[in-house]
Structure 1
Amino acid sequence: MKLTGRTLLADGKLRSGTLTLADGRVRGFTPGPARPCFVLPGFVDLHVHGGGGADVMDGAEGVAAVASFHLRHGTTALCPTTVTRPLRELEAAVAAVGSVSDGPERARILGTHLEGPFLAPARLGAQPPHALAPDPQALRRLLAAGPVAAVTLAPELPGALELVRLLVGRGIRVGLGHTDCDAAEAAAAFEEGAGGATHLFNAMRGLHHRKPGLAAAALEAPKTVHEIILDGVHVHPSLFRIAYRAARGRLALVSDAVRACGLPPGESELGGQRIVVAADRATLGDGTLAGSILTLDRALRKAVSAGLSVEEASDLLSRNPADALGRTDLGRIVPGGPADVVVLDEDLRLRSVLRGGQEVDLGA
């Protein structure tokens, strides 16, 4: 297969020409004339709960449906993300993620993102009230249940740093989130190898000039990558631009999408809780934001609207999140790499998605 357009190559440059794909891999790029479109690496989502009416907590069928839904929006690899529930339910969810077979009809599944249960009770946001104190035995049970790629926890809780060390030792990304930690507590976790912040600015202390909290510590911490939900609701564009300049190369756009993503406004569910879905957001009955109804193709357009170039925005959706998981084989277009590619028109509207070189039916 050959794709002509302005292609984002591994050197970070958009170049006009023809991209050749064969046997599920990128085979080469030839400079030359191009159609008026962009050819970018497929998106990688570190944080996604649901979409298209399905939820990761529904079991293997739900995980597969979520991965299929988001593939049709350009996400070619993702981490199915849990909500905080009783330990046995979380074990079952992790096992379900591990049981879903790989296939071209769904995004690559990179392992579970456990958002909890070791969260600060005061910062649960829309997470169900099942937070646990840090417990190495409970964590080992979860890790034994199936593949885990990332864990979000609150670093200020007694025993949390022991969990950070355990996870880092196993090569699992640690995200700091749903936390009331101060900057010093966050810095201590980053020193132990925590990989970044979960949905930066949300479910944590704000940027106060005398009490900076996790957000400031995250933006300063080297060798970290931080999630941001760029849906126009969770984070103001001006604060996104400040974060981008402070942590260039260290931000990853995530969807944090819930079951209601892709469905009409109305009522839905998250972790057993009723949520209300409007045109641009999902909330609990009290107005607390409950995940998002964002897809990553929209996040790309939001980033460009906020002032980033297409090249810069693409890195936040592909290269940076892949690197956050140590998956340097994903998130870029390189000879020999997986042929996971999205094609967008000049208005950045999705025109085609290829996963392993196979074109996805966007209307399925």
Structure 2
Amino acid sequence: MTTRFTKCRICRDGKLVNGEDVIVSTQTGLIVESTSKDDDEVIDLGNKILAPGFIELQTNGMRGFHFTHFEDDASYQKKLDEVARYLPSTGVTAFYATIPTVSSDDFKKILPSLVPREISGGAALLGAHAEGPYLHPDKKGAHNSSLFHPPSTSPLEVYGSIASSDKTLKLVTLAPELVETDSLIKSLVANNIRVSLGHSTATYDEGLSGLKSGATCLTHTLNAMPPLSSRTPGLAGLVTSSHAPYYSIIIDGHHLHPTMATLLFRSNPSKCIIITDSIELAGLEDGTYPGHAQIPFNQTKIGSRVVIEGTETLIGGCAGLGECVANLVRWSGCSVPEGVRCVTSNIVGLMGERERGRLELGRRADLVVLSDEGEIEETNRDLVYLHHTTVSRNHNTAGAAQDGVATSASSAKSAAIPQAAGDDSVIEEPAAAPATTVGVTELSPLPTDECADGVRYAWDVETEEDG
């Protein structure tokens, strides 16, 4: 039993492919090869762009839940599921949960709860990204530098046995200039953990040494690292080297000026990765919110920008990944498939993910339908076929997760996506709940005067502690 998506333009390797269909097994949710045109369901996409589901490499949480907030495994899993069910409204069908620097005891409590798994009605959890604690204090950003460790502290001591189990910890961000970092990188890589360089004062040569030891990525390039300059390119200069790593950039309009974002993307499009670096205020209304153990000060959210209250220091992003892709298309003039590559195949190239990120035979049918401008119109993944649900959104309205369905309030529909095997009907899109009431876990704005109407962009001020 199969469903055929036809009359579409397929994103593949940064280009649009015409004249091909995508055929999905309704039993397995995998892309298959059809031997006939007698499919159970044929979906005419009306020449829309069909892309792989987006993968989020760096998110710290959203909808009121930060991934460092651990009380017990049961409540943690419940809140994690709420985040996963919200993510498809941003185009994301799989994600890595980022844990910024916490104590070793907290790492050991949290990481076992992030074992990769499918989440009914939501994006799949692919594992954890530990951003710390091997970072440079001069580029700590919003991290608690009192919890930093030197590279001589073994990963087993910091992260626990999960650091050698090849199950949960998939990526570690560290500063390559620290003493004994080369040995640490080799140890992590030997355990099939990818290493990214960031929150660092490293020179170009120190970064190159990190790459030679096995690091393969840069974390939020140009944030929490030295700037590019004529004689000292720093870590960012590595993106065009003969050993060029993958490199992530935050395309929210606050962490990077659009011109710098374009420059970085154009430097090496096949290695560029878009991330949100979102924090728990993503998806919530604007306001000032209380801090917590990881960020021990009040946080002010204005649109997609969050700063330490009363300062211009960026804490993290609040933009959705789909919004960031559309930003890149608009700012750089790149094609939609080029932008999509930065949240799909480039990430699977870095992480070695073999089940997602490409619309190829045998991979999961994680699908996103896009407009010619790169805006998300519908999101659909294998859960459509396995869990009897569909997910879709319109970019003009914030999505909300309800009973495993991420929706928009828009009545405008693109091509309908089938509910389940053997069912010719489609799920009607329910009215969306207010964006601030779904998936929020006991987090409300602090009492305050009316927020400022304008947004002061990050490039207007010195932001050495960004990231």
Aligned partner of 1:142 in structure 2 is 159
Q: Which residue does the alignment assign to 1:70?
A: 87
Secondary structure at 1:331 match in 2: coil
User: Where does residue 133 of structure 1 map in the other structure?
Assistant: 150
Instruction: Show the counterpart of 1:282.
Output: 306
The alpha-carbon deviation at position 3 of structure 1 amounts to 2.7
- CA displacement 1:196-238 (0-9 Å, x = unmatched): 1000010000001112111112432535210110111111222
Q: 2:379 aligns with which of 341, 353, 357?
A: 353
Alpha-carbon displacement from aligned partner over 1:58-98 (angstroms, at most 9, x marks no partner): 24333333222213321111110011111111111211212
Q: Do the aligned partners of 1:10 and 1:334 also contact (CA within 8 Å) in 2?
A: no
CA contact (8 A) 2:23 2:33 kept: yes
Give the aligned partner of residue 320 of structure 1.
346
Matched, 1:199 2:204: no
2:425 alignment counterpart: none
Cα separation, 1, equivalents of 2:295 and 2:44 = 53
* 1:45 maps to 2:56: yes
Shift of 1:339: 0.5
- TM-score normalized by the length of structure 2: 0.73
Amino acid at match of 2:303: A
Aligned to 1:13: 16
Which residue is 2:330 aligned to?
305
Report the count of equivalent residues: 363
Contact kept in structure 1, 2:94 and 2:123, CA below 8 Å: yes
User: For residues 46-67 of structure 1, what are the alpha-carbon distances to aligned partners after superposition, in whole Å with 9 as ceiling and x for unaligned?
Assistant: 1110111112112433333322
Structure 2 vs 1, CA of residues 101 and 326 (structure 1 numbering), >3 Å: closer, same or farther? closer
Among 200, 203, 209, the alignment partner of 1:179 is 200
Contact 1:219 1:247 in 2 (8 A): yes
**How far apart are residue 143 of structure 1 and its match?**
5.2
Q: CA deviation at 1:347?
A: 4.3
Q: Distance in 1 between matches of 2:142 and 2:5?
A: 42
Residue in 2 that maps onto 1:56: 67
1: distance between equivalents of 2:52 and 2:247?
A: 20
* Maintained 8 Å contact 1:55/1:66: no
1:139–1:234 distance in 2 versus 1, CA, 3 Å:
farther
What secondary structure does 2:319 align onto? coil
CA contact (8 A) 2:107 2:158 kept: no
For residues 12 and 63 of structure 2, the distance between their equivalents in structure 1, rounded to whole angstroms, comes to 32
> What does residue 238 of structure 2 align with?
217
CA shift for structure 1 position 195 = 0.9
Name the amino acid aligned to 2:92: T
Q: 2:40 maps to which residue?
A: none
- Partner SS state of residue 108, structure 2: helix
Tell me whether 1:164 sits opposite 2:185 in the alignment: yes
Deviations 1:297-355 (A, max 9, x none): 10111111021101100100111011110114321101221001111234433232222
1:288 Cα shift?
Answer: 1.1
Q: Distance in 2 between matches of 1:223 and 1:139?
A: 29
Question: Gapped runs of 5+ residues in structure 1?
Answer: none
Q: Paired residue for 1:115?
A: 131
1:151 aligns with 2:172: yes
- Equivalent AA in structure 1 for residue 326 of structure 2: R
Counterpart of 1:362 in 2: which secondary structure?
A: strand
Q: Which amino acid aligns with 1:335?
A: L
Counterpart-to-counterpart distance in 2, 1:159 and 1:143: 20
CA 1:167 to 1:221, structure 2 compared with 1: closer, same or farther past 3 Å? farther
Q: Pairwise mapping of residues 261-276 of structure 1 onto structure 2 (< 5 A)?
A: 261-268=282-289, 269=291, 271-273=294-296, 274-276=298-300
Q: Distance in 2 between matches of 1:154 and 1:245?
A: 25
- Offset, 1:141: 4.7
For the residue of structure 2 that corresponds to 1:90, the secondary structure is helix
Q: Is the 8 A contact 1:168 1:193 kept in 2?
A: yes
User: Aligned partners of 1:150, 1:4: CA distance in 2, in Å?
Assistant: 37
- % of aligned pairs identical? 26
Which deviates the most, 103-112 or 249-258?
103-112
2:355 matched to 1:329?
yes
Counterpart position of 1:27: 32
Q: Quick one: distance in 2 between partners of 1:139 and 1:117? A: 13
Q: Which segment is superposed worse, 110-119 or 239-248? A: 239-248
More off after superposition, 175-184 vs 53-62: 53-62
Match of 2:5 among 3, 11, 15: 3
* Residue type at the aligned position of 1:293: C
Q: 1-side partners of 2:192 and 2:157: how far apart?
A: 14
Contact 1:80–1:109 under 8 Å retained in 2 = yes
Q: Could you report, residue by residue, the CA deviation over 1:82-118 in whole angstroms, capped at 9, with x for unpaired residues?
A: 11111111111211212x7423322221211000011
TM-score (norm 1): 0.92
Aligned partner of 1:275: which letter? Q
- Equivalent in the alignment of 1:227: 248
Deviation at 1:357, TM superposition (A): 5.1
Cα distance change, pair 209–43 in 1 and its aligned pair in 2 (3 A) = same
One-letter identity of the residue aligned with 1:305: R
* 1:293 equivalent in structure 2: 318
Deviates more, 1:347-356 or 1:173-182: 347-356
Pairing 1:79–2:96 present: yes
